[in-house]
Structure formats: C-alpha cells, structure tokens
Structure 1
C-alpha cells in the first residue's frame, strides 16, 4: 500500500463548491494543523462520513470499521456539518491525527455534507457512511468487484443487520423501482460510482427526507443499473428517537409530492405497464399487471394540491 506523509491544513480549498450547487455557501473552519499519514495517494474508494452533534460517541467506531477493510485502497473523508458538540470535535481531531481528511463547513444538512465529501473525493467510487453505522471488512471489496464487472452499474447495495434499540437481519429484494416507491429498502450506505453522482447532480439538498430514494430513482431514470449484493455487509444502528420518525408529517408529504412531480411520467402505472409488456414480450411471457404502481399512485393522489 502506498504511504504518503502529508500536512493537512484545511484538507481542501475553503472556497470550493459542489459543481451542481452554485448557490451553496459552505465555509471551511480548519481543524488544527496536523502532520498525517495518508492511507493512499490514489484510492479506489472514498468513504464519506457526514457528522453532526451527537455523533461523537459513535464516529470513531464507524471509522474503525472502514480501517478494517481488506483488498481495496481507500480514503476516509469526514465532513463536520457545523457541529457545536465538543465530544464530536475532539473525536474528529483524533481521527485527523490518524491520517484521515476532516472538512468543516457551515451547517447545511446531511445531503449538503455528503455532496461536499463527494466533491472532494479522489476515488472512482464513493461510499456514504453515517457516523453511527459500521461496515464489514469485505464490503468495499465485494461492492467494487460488482462495479468493475459492469460500467453501467451506478449503485451497489447490500443486506444489513440492525443493532442497538432493535436487532434483526434484513435480507433485501433485488432492485425494482416500483417496490422501492412503496418501501425504500436501500440504505444510504451503498457504493456509488462517482460518475453517477455527477450525472444526477448530487443529492437533493432541498427535500427534508427521502433524499436517498430520490437519488436511486434519479440514477435509474438516467439509465444507471442498481446492483444488489445478497450478503449482510453493514450494520445499521437503531435509535429510540430515529430521525425519520421525528420529521413532521407535512415534511414527509412534501417529499412525496416532490418525488411524484419529478418521476410521474416515468413511474406512472401506464408507463410501467408498457415497459413491463415490452420486457415480457422479449421473454415470450404474457405481461403482468402493475398493482404496486397503482397502490403508490393512489397513495400520492390525495396529497396533490
């Protein structure tokens, strides 16, 4: 593994912006200057970890899980999204001394923090990892192999296990955009081709929730394939006060409406039925009706103004 001794001042250009978010005003406040031992000057995978208040007691565990990865050159980029938490700040300073890049920006939300990390990433592939979750040592290797096998694969996701307030293993279905609309089973902890992120314009920084679902649909409608690894490869920490359940009902409705407006023509039942008929005709089988699409349609219809 290539080793590079470097000096980390602010980790990046403080005036840099996400290329698809020209109005984004992000300000770096550098952590103290470090002399650091970098993992690699040419990583294959960049792991981006957005951090906010409360993550200080978990983030070193998340970083440690990445450090145990095998078979792939990687870098770790932590984006401090304007935290005020002294526990988190102390943890990030320790992590920076271990050779990982730490960027601080004005508070702009998790999507903006992920976009900032992606914009600074040097890897061909990027894995967003929440600061309280963990990955298995073989996740990066297996996900990279799936990406390398087909240049049209833009997203690779895996089965996972929950731990914390709830403990269970989730074996996920293969990708299907209609079933995904009914239940977003793909977690943000998925390997994403950097080119796919650029093509999609990054993660949506406006909708309050479901920005991950928006990204998967965005990538799919642009022709990118989504690949499923049917193996438990990361761990999702369950909290008693999860973020999604604390979001106001009107914010959830607004996100659903946004998705409806963007993907109506592509996801409406008639379009899905036509695509399904075309595929089944190719396979020599009769087309099947799209009941899940219609259920989603009925779910969205009452929310329209």
Structure 2
C-alpha cells in the first residue's frame, strides 16, 4: 500500500461525501495504491452514523470522542500505507495530489509534502497564505494546513499528534513546529492541491482561543522559541546598525559579494 488517506469524522456526514468523492476522483495515480480510513470520533448525529454504516469501500473505525488529534493517531496506527494523507471531512483534495506527493517522496528525502489551498464555502477570502517552510514564520503563525502528506516513518518518529483537547484545530501547527525542530524536511508544491471549506463556526476565528493556544505552544516549545528569538534579535540588531551607516553597509556588501570572492579564487589558483 502506498498511501493511507486518514479522515477524522465527528457529526460531519453532510460534508463527508464530498471528501470521499474527491479521493475517488483521483485518476492519475500512476499505478499507486491507496486506502481510505475514516475514524468516527464518537459521532451522535443519526445521518452521519447512517452514512458511515453504508460505507463498504473504506475502513471505518469507531471510537469514543477524544478529539481530532486522537482520531488521526488512531487512523495512522491502523494505516498500511508508506505515506499518510491527512484530509479533514469537510475538505476536498485535487486530482493529482496523491501521485504528485508520492513522486516527490520517492525522488527526494522529503518527509512532508504540502501545497496551496483554494478557499470555498462561507467565503473565498483566504484565511492564511501558504509558502516555503521556515521556523521563524511557523512560530508566528501556522501557514501549512492539515491537508498534507507525511512520510509515515517520520510521523511515527515525531510521536504523532498531541492529543491535548486544548489544541483542537491547531494540532497540525504543533506537529509542524516539532517536525521543524527535529530537522524533518518540508517540500512545498506551489500549486493548488486541495479545497479548504470555510464555515461560519470555525475555531480558527476564535481570537481568545487562538491566544490560549499560542500560550500553550510557546510554553511547550519554550527553548525553541527563545533560541529563535535570540537569532532574530541578533539579525535585527545588525540590520539597525547597517541602517544607520548606509555607506559602510554598501561597501561591506560589495566586499563580500565581489572582492572577497575574487581574493579566494585568486588564492586557490595560486595553490594549483
């Protein structure tokens, strides 16, 4: 098995069909095989439960309500795929995402592959801007969505998602921070790879909750935050000094860009 698509579900049967249809519509798989694992996280909605009971072409696991992080961990524990694709039950993947991700994993040392979202639903206004991974940016704000592909061995090494219910809707942010700290390699695909549904009841819009999550994450990753702050502080200090002495900065940059390189090349030539 190449890919395990993990979908946590909690009373979201009204959207689940769209998510499953998007997976089934993935035609350009180049012979790769995938499985779909849905983890019912203690749903109580009758329509959702009826829908789950009618599914026969995927694995459905039922568990008590423990939160989406725990549901995803349950799905990964049951997964047979070498790679994991995390898909929320209210989102949709684009045709080609799985095959593209597998190709990147097989041709590089990437541990995490992710792309850009297209926003739809209550609004199409972007909630975040996705780009290349860097630790400074990820500590300020999460710019990598849950809908990403992860090498299963790397996920296991990281210990999976933190199942603390206080991190609900932000489990991915914590995972990316830990992955970056562990020197895991991120590969950004600068193309739309999935559709992100915006609803009117998103936890991402709760500013008070967001502040609480930031407090939890900054406490949890205290040493990493402090080290990163020191590096940024040193860089900012150098920038302010250069800003006050523009001519010195100009000649310093010219020296390192041209003269320093010329001197090194000349010295190497003399040795040979």
TM-score range, shorter chain: 0.7 to 0.9
Q: Please tell me whether the aligned partners of residues 207 and 255 of structure 1 are also in contact (alpha carbons under 8 angstroms).
A: no
Which has the higher mean CA deviation after the structures are superposed, 105-114 or 264-273?
Answer: 264-273
Alignment match, 1:144:
102
Tell which has more relative contact order, 1 or 2 (C-alpha 8 A, sep 6+): 2
Change (3 A) 1:193 1:272: farther
Alignment match, 1:219:
179
In 2, Cα distance between the equivalents of 1:117 and 1:67? 19
What is the CA deviation profile of residues 37-71 of structure 1, one whole-angstrom value per residue up to 9, with x for unaligned ones? Answer: xxxxxx20000000002x01010110110111131
Change (3 A) 1:140 1:230: same
The runs of 4+ residues in structure 1 deviating greater than 3 Å are 168-171, 246-251, 256-260, 271-274
Alignment match, 1:198:
156
What is the CA deviation profile of residues 83-114 of structure 1, one whole-angstrom value per residue up to 9, with x for unaligned ones? Answer: 1111111111222x2x1000001110000000
Q: Does 1:245 align with 2:205?
A: yes
Among 22, 35, 45, the alignment partner of 1:65 is: 22
Alignment match, 1:25:
none
Among 72, 87, 92, the alignment partner of 1:129 is: 87
1:57 is paired with a residue of what secondary structure?
helix
Count of residues in correspondence between the two structures: 232
Q: Does 1:228 align with 2:188?
A: yes
In 2, Cα distance between the equivalents of 1:253 and 1:222? 20
More helix by share: 2
Q: Please tell me whether the aligned partners of residues 161 and 168 of structure 1 are also in contact (alpha carbons under 8 angstroms).
A: no
Change (3 A) 1:116 1:237: same
TM-score of the superposition, structure 2-length normalised?
A: 0.78
User: Any stretches of 5+ residues in structure 2 without a counterpart?
Assistant: 239-255, 258-272
Q: Please tell me whether the aligned partners of residues 81 and 110 of structure 1 are also in contact (alpha carbons under 8 angstroms).
A: yes
Alignment match, 2:54:
94
User: Any stretches of 5+ residues in structure 1 without a counterpart?
Assistant: 1-42, 278-283, 286-305
TM-score of the superposition, structure 1-length normalised?
A: 0.70
- In angstroms, what is the RMSD of aligned CA positions? 2.4
Q: Please tell me whether the aligned partners of residues 128 and 191 of structure 1 are also in contact (alpha carbons under 8 angstroms).
A: yes
